[in-house]
Amino acid sequence: MTTLDLTKLPEYLKSQRWFAGKAWPIKQVSVVDHANLDATPCSLSLAVVEVVYELGQPERYLLPVKPSAEGVKDALEDDGCLRALFDLIRDGAQLPSASGRVVGEWIGGPEGLLGLPSPLSVRRLMVEQSNTSIVLGEKVIVKVIRKLEAGVNPEHEVGRFLATRTTFRATPALLGALRLEGAASATLALAHRFVPDAVDGWKYTLDRLRQERPLGERFLSEMEELGGRLGDLHQAFGSAPMDDAAFAPEPLLQEDLQRWSASIVGELGVTLAEAGRLHPDLEGRREGLIEYARRLAHVAPSGQKIRIHGDLHLGQVLRANEQWLIFDFEGEPARSFTSRREKYSPLRDVAGMLRSFDYAEATVALEGGAPRGRVGPSREAFLEGYRKATQGATFLPTDTAAFETMLRAFELEKLLYEVRYEMQNRPDWVRIPVEALLRMEEAQ
């Protein structure tokens, strides 16, 4: 193994933009597993290190490293090392590690390799903070996961399911993965088909709303199409056979509705208590808002729980070749892998996208643009597309009133999450979800 100077690792980690623990004093760093790759023209070690803090839970990180004159160097700065890691995935190769093995997995088939040049060009993307992404040959994008978590990685699991068990193709296809098996098991990297010239849905929508005119039929048709793509995704999830425990639909029970309702009620109390100190106009609004959660508990259960995207908004879709693609099935980063893999009502995804439309309009207003009542038409177009694509689906409530009650409750849940997120990260933006909460309470 490439020698790691553990005394220098705390300083090294805190200088990396993907390291999440910059704010906390580090007590200790140790290597919990490692594997050596000797390839031409690169030899490197894949080290998994555990960071123990003075306070809080330990975290694990992947460090691909190689020797250098300065001691240890990030191997991902070397094009040859990046190509060697991709070869592990493409060839389905294996490497022994100190306590297990590193396993490459290729599910893209021969067609997944079509058009790849030799040697592979390497282009690093500088947009991500928590991982490292590289485009190879302008055909494949490899995401090297820096912060590792125990358990089944939902992005890997969902990507494999969609690619091998369904006909859903409105997503950048998962081509392969690199896994660490053993005591420190984790997904280390994922390879997807690269989509050139794609625009993320958030930017695409903001550009349309900034034009300061009423929405045209073309844009509303695109929003209807987006709703249809989400419906197609949910149909794919709902098609899982009963012998696939991770994806098979499950009956929606009254206890599920009661549990979700109780969770929203709890979040409402905590969130309004925190936000109310900064926004006094939220005082006295709890009872009106809590009614949305109470109604959820009393809905007659129908439909199913299925796997969902889990963190859906306009930034999680791409517009390419006049089509919508849905991507990033990692789920909410703040939640554990176990909770991200839970089956849920698909209306939770619908609610997330509806809230994103409101955010887009409010963002344009913050920039100085005049709100033009475009959220309502966008919502209706999206919902129309979703309903068409899911007509007769067994995973949705059979009753229109139940559909609306559940959807509004999940919108409230998303709003509360937005308030907490903005208070912690962008205090200047917290007015967006606060004003939406006020409108929701007044609509009671």
Q: Domain with 247 in it: what CATH number? A: 3.90.1200.10
| Amino acid (1-letter code) at residue 307 | R
Altogether, the residues listed in the chain come to a count of 444
Give the pLDDT mean for 41-54.
Answer: 93
Of 137, 170, 193, which closes a domain? 193
21 in any annotated domain: yes
Half-sphere exposure of 91 (CA within 13 A, CB side): 10
Say yes or no to pLDDT of 388 above 60. yes
Which residue range forms the structural domain that includes residue 130? 9-193
Last residue of a domain, one of 193, 227, 261: 193
Q: What string of DSSP letters covers 92-152?
A: T-EEEBSSEEEEEEE-STGGGGTT--SSPPEEEE---SSEEEEEETTTEEEEEE-EE-SS-
Q: Is 255 exposed, middle or buried (0-12, 13-18, 19+ CB in 10 A)?
A: exposed
262 within some domain: yes
Residue range 33-55: average pLDDT? 92
Gap between the Cα atoms of 420 and 339, Å rounded:
19
**Does residue 155 share a domain with residue 247?**
no
Is 11 exposed, middle or buried, given 0-12, 13-18 or 19+ CB atoms closer than 10 A? Answer: exposed
Same domain, 161 and 266: no
Domain count, the chain: 2
Question: In sequence order, what DSSP letters do the residues of 267-317 get, joined into one string?
Answer: HHHHHHHHHTTT-GGGTT-HHHHHHHHHHHHTSPP-SEEB---SS-SGGGE
Between the alpha carbon of residue 365 and those of residues 183, 211, 312, 369, 419, the distances in Å are: 51, 12, 22, 5, 18
pLDDT confidence tier of residue 128, bands split at 50, 70 and 90:
low
Residues 203 and 189 in one domain: no
In a domain, 184, yes or no: yes
Average pLDDT on 2-14 reads 80
179 and 299 co-located in one domain: no
CB 212, CB 370: distance < 8 Å: yes
Q: Is the pLDDT of residue 8 over 90?
A: no
Establish if 89 belongs to a structural domain: yes
Q: Is residue 258 a contact partner of residue 413, using CB atoms and an 8 Å limit?
A: no
- 53 versus 284: the higher-pLDDT residue is 53
Q: Provide the residue type at 423 as one letter.
A: M
Q: Which residue has the higher pLDDT, 257 or 370?
A: 257
Residue 99 lies inside a defined structural domain of this protein: yes
Predicted local confidence at residue 102, as pLDDT: 97
Determine which of 325-339, 359-373, 384-398 has the lowest per-residue pLDDT on average: 359-373
How much is the average pLDDT of 84-95? Answer: 96
Mean pLDDT of 335-359: 96
Do the Cβ atoms of 249 and 240 come closer than 8 Å?
yes
232 has a pLDDT exceeding 60: yes
Same domain membership, residue 211 and residue 155:
no
As a whole number, mean pLDDT of residues 41-63 equals 93
Look at residue 3 and tell me if it is in a domain.
no
Please identify, among 193, 211, 244, the residue that sits at the C-terminal boundary of a domain.
193
Domain assignment present for residue 13? The answer is yes
| Residue whose structure tokens are 């590690």 | 97
pTM (whole model) above 0.85: yes
CA separation for the pair 55, 49 (Å, rounded): 18
Q: How confident is the model at residue 374 (pLDDT cuts 50, 70, 90)?
A: confident
Q: Which of the residue ranges 58-67, 275-284, 314-323, 348-357 would you say has the lowest mean pLDDT?
A: 275-284
Q: 220 and 161, same structural domain?
A: no
pLDDT digits (tens, 9 = 90+) for 146-194: 999 988 999 999 999 999 999 999 999 999 999 999 989 999 999 999 9
Instruction: Work out the pLDDT band at 307, boundaries 50, 70, 90.
Output: very high
Residue 355 near residue 199, CB atoms below 8 Å: no
Question: 53 and 149 in one domain?
Answer: yes
- The per-residue pLDDT for range 398-427, each reduced to its tens digit, is 999 999 999 999 999 999 999 999 999 899
Residue 111 has pLDDT above 90, yes or no: no
Residue 295 sits in the same domain as residue 281:
yes
Does one domain contain both 238 and 217?
A: yes
At residue 334 the predicted structure's pLDDT band, cuts being 50, 70 and 90, is: confident
Mean pLDDT of 291-307: 97
Residues 249 and 157 placed together within one structural domain of the fold: no
For residues 184 and 238, state if they share a domain: no
**CA gap 57, 55 in Å, rounded:** 7
- The proportion of the chain whose per-residue pLDDT surpasses 70, expressed as a percent, equals 98
Q: Mean pLDDT across the stretch 241-270? A: 97
What digits encode the pLDDT tens for the residues 69-86?
666 789 999 999 999 999
- Both tokens assigned to 229: 């793509």
Can you give the pLDDT at residue 72? 74
Residue with tokens 């006295």: 284
- Average pLDDT along the chain: 93
pLDDT recorded at residue 3: 64
Does a structural domain hold residue 2? no
Please tell me which of 40-44, 107-111, 295-299 the model is most confident about, judged by mean pLDDT. 295-299
Residue 152 sits in the same domain as residue 300: no
Predicted local confidence at residue 40, as pLDDT: 76
